[in-house]
Amino acid sequence: MPQPKAIILRAPGTNCDQETGYAFEKAGAAADYIHINQLMENPSVLADYQILCLPGGFSYGDDIAAGRVLASQMQSTLAAAIGEFHDAGKLVLGICNGFQILIKTGFLLPRDESGLPATLTWNNHGRFIDCWVNLKTDNEKCVFLKDVDHMYLPIAHAEGQFVARDAEVMDNLKTNNQLALTYCRADGSNGADLEFPANPNGSKENVAGVCDATGRIFGLMPHPERFIDPTHHPRWTREGLKDEGEGLAVFRNAVDYFG
C-alpha cells in the first residue's frame, strides 16, 4: 500500500500538533495539519486519509471541561463522517486532550448506546500534574500497542482520572480487553492498592488508555509523541541511549497496520 496519511486535527488551543505530526512522519506516515473548521466545512476530506489523530493541548482553552467544546463540534457535524471513516477499517488516535475529546463525543470511545459510559474528570488530588509514569499494556486487541508490553512515558494533565458510570461498564471494558493501558510500578505490578505517584490521578482500575471493541480507536492520557528520540528520556545520560524512544512504537504500529 502507498504511504499511509494521517490527519492531525487542530483547534484553538491545540499545542502538541507539530510533535505528533513529527512522530507519525518518523514512523513512516505522511502527516497533514487540518483545522477543525476545515474538516467541518468539508468532511469528505477524511476519505483521503487512513489515520485520524487528535493531539494533546488545551482545545478551546478547556472551557466548560477538557475537550468538551471540540467534542460537541465533532458530535454535531462530523459523527457520520467519522463513523464511515472508522467503518472503512481506518484508525483513530486521541492523546491526552484528544483522549478527553474522544470520550466526550459520546459516539467514539467507549461506545455505548445507553449514553456516556465513562469520562475523564479532575485528578483526585485536584492539581495539574506533569511527570513520567510506568505503563503496562493489554495488547490483545489494541492496534497501537501491538507487541508492546511496557512503556515509560510523560503525562501532563489536570483532568485525567478515568471513571466509569458503574461497575458493570468497567467489568465489560476489562472483559473485552479494552482497558489497553494502565499505570503500574516500575516492576510492572499494579492493583487496586496502586497509589500516587504510580497512579498519578486516581484513575479507577489504574486506567491510562482505552480502546474500542475493534482495537482501532485508542485514547491515552500519556504523551507518546514526547518520547520519540532516546534523548527525551529524563535519565538518558545515566542509563545510556536506547535505539529509539518508547513512544515511537505507538505510531509505528499505526503505520504498519496498513502495510
Active-site residues: which are they? 96, 223, 225
Using DSSP's 3-state secondary structure scheme, residue 120 falls into: strand
Distance CA 199, CA 201 (A): 6
Q: How far is CA 141 from the centre of its chain?
A: 15
Distance CA 205, CA 169 (A): 12
Closest CA to 183 of 218, 134, 124: 134
Beta sheet of 207-211, edge-to-edge order = 30-35, 5-10, 51-54, 91-95, 217-220, 207-211, 181-184, 129-137, 150-157
Asked if 153 and 250 count as a contact pair (C-beta separation under 8 A), the reply is: no
